[in-house]
Amino acid sequence: MVSDIEKRIHEGMPGYIEALKRLVRIPSISFDNFDQKYVLDSAEAVKAMFTEAGYTNVQFLLPPSGRPTVYAESLTSPENPTILLYAHHDVQPPMREHLWDTKPFEPEIRGDRIYGRGTSDDKAGIITHVAACEQVRKALGDKGPNLKFIIEGEEESGSAGFAEILAKNAELLKCDAVIIADLGNFAKGTPSITTTLRGMSAVNVTVKSAKAPLHSGSWSGPIPDPGQALCRMISALTDKDGNIAIPHFEDGIVKPTPEELESYGSLGYSEETFRKEGGVLDCVKLNVPGDKILETLWRRPSIVVTAMEVGSRTNAGNVLQDSAYARIGIRLAPGMDADACTQMLVEFLQQSVPNGLECSITAEDGANPFTTDIAHPFFKKMSEAMAEAYGQPTKFIGCGASIPGAELFRSTLGDIPILMTGLEDPECAAHGENESLYLPDFEHGIVAEALFFASLT
């Protein structure tokens, strides 16, 4: 059966690539300042794909924003296990379009990669689910597992309505396990299952010293400069090595086990590789030694200034600005609580405001860190299926990013296995310019998922 499934998937790859191209051509950016018509167009395209393939109960699940999540199912028997398959059809903005080598929403194959926004994050996840399901239906018929699909429409903009969707449809989505196809492999050709995610939150900070900008020659000196004041507030958050200075901020961290640390070490990841993949300048000294990079990315918190504004670079003049703004993002290690840590960040910033400047801070919705227990037999089955498909041993890895849906699935559906896979790799440039998908792993990922389904019979 394994060879038959692999053969059929290989023969079907041209069609799966074309299906991916059709989805990538739709600029389904789910941020409010972009035309949301395209998110609806994308949802309609995914819905049509399911309908044409003969899935049942195909429908939209609508969050308050109106950005549709698409649901479909392929049910066999109540006696068979039920797997819920997650991906998302919305994408990030193209960023700096002049840095793309091709048009962001016109997919193009160059060598062994296909380029375009959403190729790896996460429209390939949709096609992987659909293609694997197609093959298991052909191979097993009613003997295969029950498969349910939930394809979200606003993951990239924060999944603000996803909790409501899950809560309203908990009975519809009831299952024995979830596969989240929105992560990636540790390297090209290295099959990987993610077992930990960092959480995230962010705050928006504005400090103000005057009612309007002032002539710097006439007013600077006596009046505190908001830009420098905000810089002092930000610099107080960490020490020179990047360690967070907020009292009790890290109290809840769950340290990695010796087995997890041994697994990290077995990946053979080097500082040289990290620098190359991240484009880190040679002159920059890292905050941690090379053998601590993965542990820091996966199991330690961080604070990053993601935006800062004091006046305008294009209209700079001799002006004492009246205010300064920054968006400060935090990544949270397993064991930390997003709400509590956000509140500690807010209070620390408020206590750090110099010279009594007016300070306003607003917090964004956060997501808690996530860990999963790999003791369930489904993890062994998935690991074996991926190793068979890729021809390489499967690695269990962490991820420094956040997937809000992971914890939401657990809190809504109970303590069931949540298997986090995906097709991103260090070269894919997800969220950046020239996003791409490694085509050999696209095929490997479809085969792996189909073999996992077959193993459940």
Encode pLDDT of 414-423 as tens digits. 999 999 999 9
- Please tell me the predicted confidence (pLDDT) of residue 160: 87
Report residue 259's pLDDT band, with 50, 70 and 90 as the boundaries. Answer: confident
Distance CA 292, CA 314 (A): 40
Q: Which amino acid is at 387?
A: A
Q: Give, in degrees to the nearest 5, the angle at Cα 26 between 20 and 30.
A: 115
DSSP E strands in 1-99: the ranges are 56-61, 69-74, 82-88
Describe the crossing of helices 439-455 and 124-140 by its angle, rounded to 10 degrees: 40
Mean pLDDT computed over 238-246: 95
Residue-wise pLDDT tens digits, 102-155? 999 999 999 999 999 999 999 999 999 999 999 999 999 999 999 999 999 999
Coil vs helix vs strand at 376: coil
Tens of pLDDT, residues 201-218: 999 999 999 999 999 999
Q: How confident is the model over 8-43, as pLDDT tens digits?
A: 999 999 999 999 999 999 999 999 999 999 999 999
Q: Which residues contact 231 (CB under 8 A, 6 or more apart)?
A: none
Find the mean pLDDT for residues 305-334. Answer: 95
Name the pLDDT band for 1 (thresholds 50, 70, 90): low
The mean predicted confidence, pLDDT, of the chain is: 96
Predicted structure pTM score = 0.87
When pLDDT is averaged across residues 291-311 and rounded to a whole number, the result is: 96
Report pLDDT for 204.
97
* Residue 99 · residue 434 · CB < 8 Å: yes
Say which residue, 180 or 158, is predicted with more confidence. 180
Q: How far is C-alpha 141 from the geometric centre of its chain's CA atoms?
A: 33
- Asked if 244 contacts 237 with a C-beta cutoff of 8 angstroms, the reply is yes
Mean pLDDT of 287-297: 96
pLDDT for 227: 98
* Distance separating alpha carbons of residues 402 and 297, to the nearest angstrom: 12
Q: Find out whether 421 and 395 touch, Cβ atoms under 8 Å.
A: no
Q: Tell me: pLDDT of 2 over 80.
A: no
Domains and CATH numbers, the chain: 2-197+369-455 (3.40.630.10), 199-253+300-363 (3.30.70.360)
